[in-house]
Chains A and B, each alone.
Chain A
Amino acid sequence: MKVKEIVRILDARILCGEDMQEYTVEKAFASDLMSDVLMLADDNVLLITGLVNMQTIRTAEMSDILCVVLARNKKASREMIDLARDGGIILIECRYSVYQTCGLLYREGLKPIF
């Protein structure tokens, strides 16, 4: 699923990486536990999370996750956005809960990792 479709489905806001909206994620994973995210071996994963801090971005950077959706209407800080931009990560904010975010994307065909 392309990033631009994710943005449309979630009626979301792109904070950085607007120019990478053609990027395609293959699967999605939702977690607030970065320990779990770091154990994923898959590529082209979308991360959906309600944890909004610097470690969210750092974890995505180390795991080669290029697109992160911040759910629960949480706002990213300036530092988070700068770090994401620096790491080539597309950062998206959306107002839905994690459950609703996952449900909407799943219904449109985005598959889970497991």
Chain B
Amino acid sequence: MRIVVPGRVETHILSGMTERMHFEHNIVGGDFTRAGYASSQVKKALKTLDVDMAIIKRTVVATYEAEVNVVAHACNGMMIVDIDGSTIQVVIQDEGPGIEDVEQAMVEGFSTASSEVREMGFGAGMGLSNMKKNADSLHIESEPGKGTKVEILMALDGREEVRSKK
């Protein structure tokens, strides 16, 4: 018996690819001149895969916010990207000070950014909520004194699927 799952065919057309992609980039804490390099590589990769422009924008805005957070608030960061035919998974982890209260950090306007960070054009306390707005799924784990791990999941075939998968 053959079961036809609605939406599946569209998935293949949209993704148009079968191979998987995996790459990793270091993120250096405090180095604002290079902040955004990793997200820029993600953007270039998604463009070559012909991913929908609106999905690319939501993805890289979310990863860039996370990348800037490592540069602004932490150190020894890493961005790990996995792309397959239906999802983009980006993990941004660091060995920074961690976040004491993630729920409080998520509140719009909450920021501990230094004056240096503010001079760079950041520190409005909007990054985490903007990541939540743009990502199909956002998961944050943080241990004070150890570091922070942010996972961003994007569906290539519509937002709902990844949400219900989670």
Residues in chain A within 8 A of chain B (CB atoms): 32-36, 38-39, 51, 53-56, 58-59, 61-64, 79, 87
Contacts and interface: CB of A to CB of B under 8 A. Distances in A.
Majority SS of interface residues in chain A? helix
A5 B32 CA distance: 33
Contacts, number: 67
A63 B153 CA distance: 18
A38 B120 contact: no
Given A55-B36, A79-B33, A63 B120 contact: no
A39 B122 contact: no
Interface size class of B (residues with CB under 8 A): 20 to 34
Interface of B: 32-33, 35-36, 39-40, 43, 53, 57, 60-61, 64-65, 68, 120-127, 130, 133
Contacts of A38: 61, 64-65, 126-127, 130
Given A58-B35, A61-B43, A53 B120 contact: yes
